[in-house]
Structure 1
Amino acid sequence: MTDMTDETATDATDATEVALRDAAEELPIDDAKSAPADRAASGPFDLTEVPGMRPYVDLGGIKIAPREGLQMRLEVDERAKRVVAVTLEYSESLLQLQAFSAPKTTGLWHGVRREIAQQLAAQNAQAREEDGEFGPELVTMTPLPAEQGGGVRVARFIGVDGPRWLLRGVVMGRATEDAQVRARVNELFREVVVVRGDQPMPPSELLPLTMPTGVPQTGGPAEA
């Protein structure tokens, strides 16, 4: 039995931010960039790599390509009063997205993936690495308490190092167990555009997200 909930998305956001902070404080074990060979042509894209005429939902550090049936909501850190992630709902699945600043010549995903596994292990979650469309991925299985029906909560962490950025996605729901649905969700990830900007930023800093009209905060989806 698998579970797809808002709590999963929140846990994933927290785990990634802690992992990035911890990874930045340690010497990197593997700082090579992790990305598919066709990334520049097939995505995820840097802003400089996309045609200017294509329509996108502009969320600041991330742009989302709209499509029929796609819904989105923004995850807000109420303490910091800032948007920390965008979650897409599509094909009975969730894809949570965050983008972070990164060095120009080295990557973050290898170190971050290791740190996420350690953070989730502390929560009694199991984690294993798999090779996927975007390179190394992390599949996690978190036991659910009896009051939530038992079973496990499955999530698939994916990441791509781009030009001075890392795009991290967390896949939940049907796409974690159905290969055809996963392929459709991977297409969503491919279509994302990251807007790094020219301003200096330390590595691992969350790229600012903005709240456009019509996109709700956590709690209620809206059509993209």
Structure 2
Amino acid sequence: MAFWPFGKKKKEEQEPKAAQSVTETAPEEVAVATSEDTNASAVAPDPEAESSPAAAGTVIAQAPGTTKIENYDPVGGSTGPFDGDSVEIEDFDFTDFSDVTLNLGSVRIPLPKGSQVQVEMGEQGPKMVHIVTEFGRLTPVAFAAPRTGGLWEESSDDIGEGMRSEGMPMNFEEGPWGREVVGKGTNGVVRIIGVEGPRWLYRVTLAAPNGREEQLAQLGREVVARSFIYRGQDAILSGNSLPVTLPQQLAAQVQQAVEARAAQAQGQTAGASGQAPTTPNPNALSDALRQILEQSEASRKND
């Protein structure tokens, strides 16, 4: 599916279609994972693979099935990622691709149909948000960037060097927005897409098992092209990630799921010692997605 250019909705069609996309579709699932869970699924380096000459920066091949976007414009163009501070997401109709938009404050992402949201938990709380699809996992992050640009070129060099230092063969490929970093592991492929806009850098990491890397690359670019970045006017040091805000009710449900998980583990321990286990809420995760839907619908009504 080609993802460019996107046409804007007619004014009289915006409200009915927006409501339909939220209320008439099946919900995606929201899951909660610990750092150990996500690390276990990470792509391990492949010691037998070799880096291509592109790893040294001498040659950058065009990524399969892609063409370069000419004159990419996040404000006045018809292909994202868009600058959300200047472009209204409600002006576009993505219902052929997505049933619900994930609002993380600094980033809004129309979720691919059939995908799931996975909130990675660290010791201090939510650490990362992943989008899990049939082809693999996408991890979106937005950063503050200098007005003059150049952050992606610099950081992609660092990422490539880091991969090589960890023993992961890698190369650069030319994608629709420019350079993409590709790392080859024993059990899959990591591809990192970076796009710069007005004082921001949008980076999406794709992790696919072997045999599904091309499908995930295509889907990942579809997601990138429909994303909206909200940099705001606050002073943020270049290279620092933009703040991510979980909807209040979703955050509460995530916390409930984490507590249920801990209670279940405690119950298993107590059961082994003869004590009655604590029963977790079985609906905590499905309830969390319902909060996303309600949050999205409320946001549209307020707009």
TM-score by length of 1: 0.70
Report what 1:43 is aligned to. Answer: 80
Separation of aligned partners in 1, 2:40 and 2:207? 8
Per-residue CA shift, 1:58-117, capped at 9, x if unaligned?
112111213421211233442xx3644321112322111111000112231100000011
Which structure has greater helix proportion? 2
Matches within 5 A, 1:115-154: 115-142=158-185, 151-154=186-189
Moved more, 37-46 or 160-169: 37-46
1:103 and 1:186, CA in 2 relative to 1: closer, same or farther beyond 3 A? Answer: same
Q: 2:139 matched to which residue of 1? A: 96
The two structures, once aligned, show a CA RMSD in angstroms of: 3.2
Change (3 A) 1:77 1:165: farther
Say whether residues 1:210 and 2:242 are aligned partners.
no
- SS of structure 2 residue aligned to 1:172: strand
CA contact (8 A) 1:84 1:209 kept: no
Residues 83, 209 of structure 1: 8 Å contact kept: no
Matches of 2:236 and 2:110 in 1, distance apart? 26
Inter-CA distance 178–77: structure 2 relative to 1 (3 Å threshold): closer
Name 1:69's counterpart in structure 2. Answer: 114
Query: Which structure's CA Rg is the greater one?
Result: 2
Using CA pairs below 8 Å that are at least 6 residues apart, which structure has the higher relative contact order? 1
How many Å separate the matches in 1 of 2:41 and 2:218? Answer: 20
* Secondary structure of 2:184 counterpart: strand
**Mapping 1:165-180, distance limit 5 Å:** 165-173=200-208, 177-180=212-215
Q: Which amino acid aligns with 2:114?
A: G
Give yes or no for contact 1:83–1:210 (8 Å, CA) kept in 2: no
Listed as ranges, the gaps of 5+ residues in structure 1 are 12-34, 143-150
Aligned positions, number: 188
Please tell me whether the aligned partners of residues 174 and 181 of structure 1 are also in contact (alpha carbons under 8 angstroms): no
Letter paired with 2:159: I
Q: Is the contact between residue 188 and residue 209 of structure 2 (CA under 8 Å) also seen in structure 1?
A: no
Partners of 2:142 and 2:242 within 8 A in 1: yes
Q: 1:50 to 1:60 in 2, by over 3 A?
A: same
1:195 equivalent in alignment to 2:230? yes
Task: Tell me the TM-score normalized by structure 2.
Answer: 0.54
Percent of pairs with identical residues: 26
d(CA) in 1 for partners of 2:207 and 2:127?
18
